[in-house]
Amino acid sequence: MALLGCGVVGTEVVRLLREQAGDLAARVGVPLELAGIAVRRPERVREGVPRELLTTDAQGLVTRDDVDIVIEVIGGIEPARTLMLEAMKTGKSVVTANKALLAEDGATLFAAAREYGADLYYEASVAGAIPLLRPLRESLVGDHVHRVLGIVNGTTNYILDQMDTHGAGFNEALEEAQALGYAEADPTADVEGFDAAAKAAILAQLAFHTPVTAADVHREGITEVSAADVAGAKEMNSVVKLLAICERVPAAEGRNGRGVSVRVYPAMIPRSHPLASVREAYNAVFVEAESAGSLMFYGAGAGGAPTASAVLGDLVAVARNLRGGTPGPVEVTYAKLPVLPMGETRTRYYIQLDVADRSGVLATVAEEFAKHDVSIQAVRQVGSGEDAQLVVVTHRAADAALTTTVERLRSLDDVREVASVMRVEADEV
């Protein structure tokens, strides 16, 4: 085996391979031996990592004759893609944790796996330690999945949880998440929702057997989530979470639906919903399938050891396949469903408005909603005079109609400020 990258995840992979060598050999039937570890800075001290295995020649390592499985934990697009393709071309199987690459150009990797008969396993790429891709890829492959909904980014969940429970500031909470090894090398990927969007693309592709890339995913991060949003959610007995949502959009006829909606954004969910109790850097994902019903997957979605657990699970599976001469499953994206634009997705909004406290304001505001065919579920006035606020929660409507309504509200004389806008997901609040 060859290991590419020896950072947070790679170091833990090396530790587990050493500590569990005997058990792993017994489970596979042959010892799992590391032939080399490609690193950028060999001089760096890495506890428990044998120096004699380190090399800066990743290209040379992946094509060595005594390597038949390559573990990629470098991350990013290049050189990870070229190295994995090189490995597969020379008949090696690949285990990777690289969601960014799988979501951007998974098709190239899957095509190479098919062409060269190589295994490509990537359980660690989504929701870290949680077995989620294997259940979708294998256990649920006979079912018809309607929806995948969850919290798939540990860093942002940690930040939102600290803001909710301790009133922590954004930067302070981010620094803690980085120190704990949850954040990506560049935390922009986490806080701007790129990491969750990549995972949503991978999940949607597996769930709906349809090609979905990161560029297809509607993405909003958490950098705009304010203390007012978090407080507003509290008032509603709700909590703000960064959600990844992949769902079939029903059609008048046909089982597959009109297409799929794949999106990532912060949203309010009621505190009574199981996702609301997902704290710190934990992840949780609901899968709703026609025959299986609702399934929930919960656990550690980030961090060196949990991610390494998923990598080792894949490694054992691939090693067993190699021993048995039977390759693992290959992705099939036969369904080719369109990914629908966000504007057509039906969502619900929570809107908090600072308004002039005088008669007729409520009617003017309500009229704007009606004009855009948005039906109001509940409206409440808080405070009076200069401090008057209206809190409006809508029923489901096309997202485009809701955003237009909010823009129109901003321009009304009676509305001093739109203080908070947040989508509402899960059960009715």
Ligand X SMILES: NC(=O)c1ccc[n+]([C@@H]2O[C@H](COP(=O)([O-])OP(=O)(O)OC[C@H]3O[C@@H](n4cnc5c(N)ncnc54)[C@H](O)[C@@H]3O)[C@@H](O)[C@H]2O)c1
Instruction: List own/partner pairs for 181-187 with CB under 8 A and 24 or more apart.
Output: 181/8, 181/302, 181/303, 181/304, 182/154, 182/155, 182/158, 182/281, 182/302, 182/303, 183/155, 184/75, 184/155, 185/7, 185/75, 185/76, 187/155
Residue 226 makes CB contacts below 8 A (sequence gap 6+) with 420
State in angstroms the smallest separation of the CB of 87 from Na ion.
21
314 binds Na ion (CB under 5 A): no
199 versus 423: smaller Cβ distance to ligand X:
199
State in angstroms the smallest separation of the CB of 11 from ligand X.
8
282 versus 350: smaller Cβ distance to ligand HSE:
282
Question: x/- string (CB under 6 A) for ligand HSE, residues 159-188?
Answer: -----------------------xxx----
174 versus 198: smaller Cβ distance to Na ion:
198
Q: Which 71-130 positions form the footprint of ligand HSE (CB under 6 A)?
A: 128
Distance of CA 392 to the CA centre of its chain: 29
154 binds ligand HSE (CB under 6 A): yes
State in angstroms the smallest separation of the CB of 421 from Na ion.
32
- Report the interface residues with ligand X, using CB under 6 A: 4-10, 38-40, 58, 73-75, 79, 97-99, 124, 128, 181-182, 184-185, 302-303, 307
Which one of ligand X, Na ion, ligand HSE, none interacts with residue 132, CB within 5 to 8 A by kind?
A: Na ion
Round the CA-based radius of gyration of the chain to a whole number and report it.
24
9 versus 38: smaller Cβ distance to ligand HSE:
9
123 versus 399: smaller Cβ distance to ligand X:
123
Return the residue of 123, 195, 314, 425 that touches Na ion, per CB under 5 A: 123
Distance in angstroms (rounded) separating the CA atoms of residues 202 and 198: 6
38 versus 281: smaller Cβ distance to ligand HSE:
281
57 versus 115: smaller Cβ distance to ligand X:
57
418, 410 contact by CB (below 8 A): yes
State in angstroms the smallest separation of the CB of 278 from ligand X.
16
Which one of ligand HSE, ligand X, Na ion, none interacts with residue 54, CB within 5 to 8 A by kind?
A: none
Which one of Na ion, ligand HSE, ligand X, none interacts with residue 153, CB within 5 to 8 A by kind?
A: ligand HSE
Distance in angstroms (rounded) separating the CA atoms of residues 260 and 211: 11
178, 7 contact by CB (below 8 A): no
Site stretch for ligand HSE (CB under 6 A), options 42-50, 83-91, 152-160, 242-250 = 152-160
First-to-last C-alpha distance (Å) of the chain: 51
State in angstroms the smallest separation of the CB of 241 from ligand HSE.
13
302 binds ligand HSE (CB under 6 A): yes
Which one of ligand HSE, ligand X, Na ion, none interacts with residue 135, CB within 5 to 8 A by kind?
A: none
61, 38 contact by CB (below 8 A): yes
* Angle, helix 154-166 to helix 170-179, in steps of 10 degrees: 130
Return the residue of 67, 71, 73, 127 that touches Na ion, per CB under 5 A: 127
Please name which of 63, 60, 33, 39 lies closest in space to residue 51, comparing C-alpha atoms: 39
State in angstroms the smallest separation of the CB of 195 from ligand X.
7
257, 339 contact by CB (below 8 A): no
Which one of ligand HSE, Na ion, ligand X, none interacts with residue 268, CB within 5 to 8 A by kind?
A: none
Please name which of 276, 267, 286 lies closest in space to residue 161, comparing C-alpha atoms: 276
The residue whose two tokens read 């071309």 is: 89
Distance in angstroms (rounded) separating the CA atoms of residues 411 and 94: 55
Please name which of 237, 268, 273 lies closest in space to residue 348, comparing C-alpha atoms: 268
State in angstroms the smallest separation of the CB of 90 from ligand HSE.
29
Alpha helices, DSSP H, located in 20-79: 21-28, 58-62
Distance in angstroms (rounded) separating the CA atoms of residues 326 and 322: 6
Backbone angles phi, psi at 300, to 5 degrees: -80, 120
**The residue type at 363:** A
Q: Is 199 a known active-site residue?
A: yes
Residue 50 CB coordination number (10 Å): 11
Catalytic residue among 199, 234, 336, 371: 199
Residues paired with 267 in a beta bridge: 241, 423
Q: Which residue is nearest to ligand X (CB)?
A: 7
Residues of the shown chain interacting with ligand HSE in the complex, contacts defined by CB under 6 A: 128, 153-155, 182-184, 190, 195, 301-302
Catalytic residues: 199
